[in-house]
């Protein structure tokens, strides 16, 4: 279809063009070629680095030549999801766009409105001869969706601007002013095992809501790994057992929805009776927050491998019960914002070790570092091998932001009200820029996108028009 009939025309023209270029994470050479070619055609200075990040520089328009540059920023990559039977090769094929009322969608796949709409708005502004603006540094980053790798690799000394508009947010009425930084910590407990006689039992907890370990960590959702440990610990006093394995969750940054343990006990009847009794109490306790919780036990027909030596089985339960988990601190500056949290997302037992992986987050760097130190200290006292990795910096709230004020004024003109000012407890590329460039003043904004990262992703056309109008107004006021 042709989107060029849709307003703002120049934005949708570019959105349609880039939608024809495959640009999943890890596959951004072609889209970066396109950006370079765009710059060449328009006579703009541009640079590309080995991570395929592209920066395009455009001078200020008449009257704005001497103004401070403004950085416009969005990411080139998209999450590629498709309906099972939809024929597309994301390595080579473009998207099949369609319109549904006020929405743009892609047939059978993600739309890549996250963050193609930022790319399209930036290209439209660069290409325009009629928009008034200060010098622009348009930064197109890569691999945001797989750990913000492009932004991390970017040589920030290429940027002179200290005002940055990131366009990777997804709700038009929200002005984002801070994001979390984070890291991951893995703890590995080496296991000793022995032959053990008794009955082998599998116990599972499942049916939990799960969710994103940042934006959903304060919603009272149960961590399956922690609950499984609680049920086991309770049963131990009635019927001692040795663990064979305990597993739950597969991503550090997702709240695990199920967990399973295999154990061996000499008193299966007492164990099962106690789990059943206590399970009823726990179900009652969680009936409001986790109504679909299911607890299952099963006697295994034959031995399921060697058991952990009791000391290791004990240590594992100790770690699961006593490691910090969930919300650690709420913000005082920003109402309802989780400031610091962590999530035990992965619990995995292999023959010689059990590994626990935590995702840590904080909107304050010093609080994040303190939490890392706390968890590492806890783990080393329990004789675990630890690893700290995947670190990314937070974008801390700036109370004296000129850009926030300009945006609020422009927004007020367009919408007749103020935007909601929010901080998010998840990562944004703004954190990487703010940590690298001192005095950086950032905002993150964007038009309404729904169900991003799914095949239902859609973008509101009228919202793009409104937000684009606000961005142009902000640029006009940056004199
Ligand atoms: Zn995004």
Q: Catalogue all structural domains in the chain, each as residue range(s) with its CATH number.
A: 9-180+395-477 (3.40.630.10), 183-392 (3.30.70.360)
Contacts of 405 (CB under 8 A, 6+ apart): none
- What pLDDT shows up at residue 57? 98
- What pLDDT shows up at residue 1? 62
Place of tokens 């902000």: 474
3-state secondary structure of 271: helix
| Residue 241 CA from chain centroid, whole number | 38
Ligand 1 centre and the CA of 168: distance in Å?
5
Neighbours of 449 (CB within 10 A): 25
Contacts of 250 (CB under 8 A, 6+ apart): 256, 345, 346
Ligand 1 centre and the CA of 114: distance in Å?
5
Which position among 10, 77, 422, 441 bears the catalytic label? 77
Ligand 1 centre and the CA of 117: distance in Å?
10
Place of tokens 């901080």: 423
| Residue 277 CA from chain centroid, whole number | 39
Contacts of 213 (CB under 8 A, 6+ apart): 252, 253, 254, 255, 341, 343, 345, 359, 361
Q: In the annotation, is 329 catalytic?
A: no
Cα–Cα dist 90/256, whole Å: 29
3-state secondary structure of 355: strand
Ligand 1 centre and the CA of 376: distance in Å?
31
Contacts of 129 (CB under 8 A, 6+ apart): none
Q: In the annotation, is 144 catalytic?
A: yes
pTM > 0.85: yes or no: no
pLDDT along the chain (479 residues), means of 10: 82 97 96 98 98 98 97 97 92 95 96 97 98 98 94 97 97 95 96 96 95 86 96 96 95 92 97 98 96 97 94 95 96 90 97 97 96 97 94 91 97 96 92 95 97 93 98 96
| Residue 90 CA from chain centroid, whole number | 22
3-state secondary structure of 414: helix
Which position among 10, 137, 144, 247 bears the catalytic label? 144
Ligand 1 centre and the CA of 377: distance in Å?
34
Ligand 1 centre and the CA of 458: distance in Å?
14
- What pLDDT shows up at residue 251? 86
Ligand 1 centre and the CA of 75: distance in Å?
7
Ligand 1 centre and the CA of 446: distance in Å?
10
Report how far apart, in Å, the C-alpha atoms of 463 and of each of 7, 15, 103, 167, 173 are. 11, 15, 10, 13, 10
- C-alpha torsion sign, points 470, 172, 77, 109: negative
Ligand 1 centre and the CA of 246: distance in Å?
35
Strand 174-179, strand 259-265: pairing: unpaired
Question: Could you give the angle at the alpha carbon of 356 between the alpha carbons of 353 and 358, nearest 5°?
Answer: 160
Ligand 1 centre and the CA of 204: distance in Å?
35
Q: In terms of Cα–Cα distance, which of 464, 432, 419, 406 is closest to 118? A: 464
Both tokens of residue 401? 């932001």
DSSP H or E run through 73: strand 70-75
Please, are residues 458 and 211 in contact by the beta-carbon 8 Å criterion? Answer: no
């Amino acid at each position: 279809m042709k989107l060029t009939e849709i307003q703002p025309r120049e934005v949708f023209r570019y959105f349609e063009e880039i939608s024809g270029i495959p640009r999943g994470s890890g596959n951004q050479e072609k889209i970066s070629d396109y950006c370079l070619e765009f710059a060449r055609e328009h006579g703009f200075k541009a640079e590309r680095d080995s991570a395929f990040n592209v920066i395009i520089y455009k001078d200020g328009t008449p009257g704005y030549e001497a103004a401070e540059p403004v950085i416009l920023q969005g990411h080139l990559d998209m999450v590629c999801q498709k309906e099972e039977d939809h024929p597309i090769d994301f390595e080579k094929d473009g998207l099949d766009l369609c319109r549904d009322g006020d929405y743009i969608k892609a047939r059978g796949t993600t739309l890549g409105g996250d963050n193609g709409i930022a790319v399209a708005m930036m290209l439209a502004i660069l290409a325009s001869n009629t928009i008034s603006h200060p010098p622009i540094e348009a930064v197109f980053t890569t691999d945001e969706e797989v750990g913000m790798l492009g932004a991390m690799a970017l040589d920030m000394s290429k940027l002179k601007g200290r005002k940055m508009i990131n366009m990777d947010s997804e709700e038009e009425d929200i002005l984002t002013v801070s994001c979390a930084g984070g890291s991951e910590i893995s703890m590995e407990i080496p296991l000793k095992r022995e032959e053990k006689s008794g009955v082998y039992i599998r116990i599972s907890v499942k049916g939990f809501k799960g969710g994103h370990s940042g934006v959903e960590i304060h919603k009272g959702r149960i961590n399956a790994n922690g609950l499984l440990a609680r049920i086991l610990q309770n049963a131990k006093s009635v019927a001692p057992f040795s663990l064979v394995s305990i597993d739950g969750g597969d991503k550090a940054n997702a709240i695990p929805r199920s967990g399973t343990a295999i154990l061996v006990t000499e008193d299966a009847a007492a164990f099962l009776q106690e789990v059943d009794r206590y399970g009823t109490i726990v179900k009652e306790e969680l009936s409001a927050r986790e109504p679909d919780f299911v607890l299952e036990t099963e006697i295994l027909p034959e031995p399921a491998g060697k058991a952990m030596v009791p000391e290791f089985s004990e240590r594992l339960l100790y770690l699961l019960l006593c490691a910090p988990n969930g919300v650690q601190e709420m913000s005082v500056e920003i109402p309802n914002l989780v400031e610091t949290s962590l999530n035990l997302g992965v619990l995995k037992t292999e023959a010689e070790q059990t590994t626990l992986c935590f995702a840590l987050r904080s909107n304050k760097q010093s609080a994040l570092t303190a939490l890392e130190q706390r968890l590492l200290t806890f783990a080393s006292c329990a004789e675990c091998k630890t690893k700290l990795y995947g670190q990314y910096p937070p974008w801390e709230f700036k109370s004296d932001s000129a850009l926030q004020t300009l945006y609020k004024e422009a927004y007020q003109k367009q919408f007749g009200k103020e935007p909601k000012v929010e901080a998010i407890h998840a990562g944004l590329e703004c954190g990487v820029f703010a940590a690298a460039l001192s005095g950086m003043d950032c905002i993150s904004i964007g038009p309404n996108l729904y169900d991003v990262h799914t095949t239902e992703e859609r973008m509101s056309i009228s919202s793009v028009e409104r937000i684009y109008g606000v961005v142009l107004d902000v640029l006009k006021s940056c004199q």
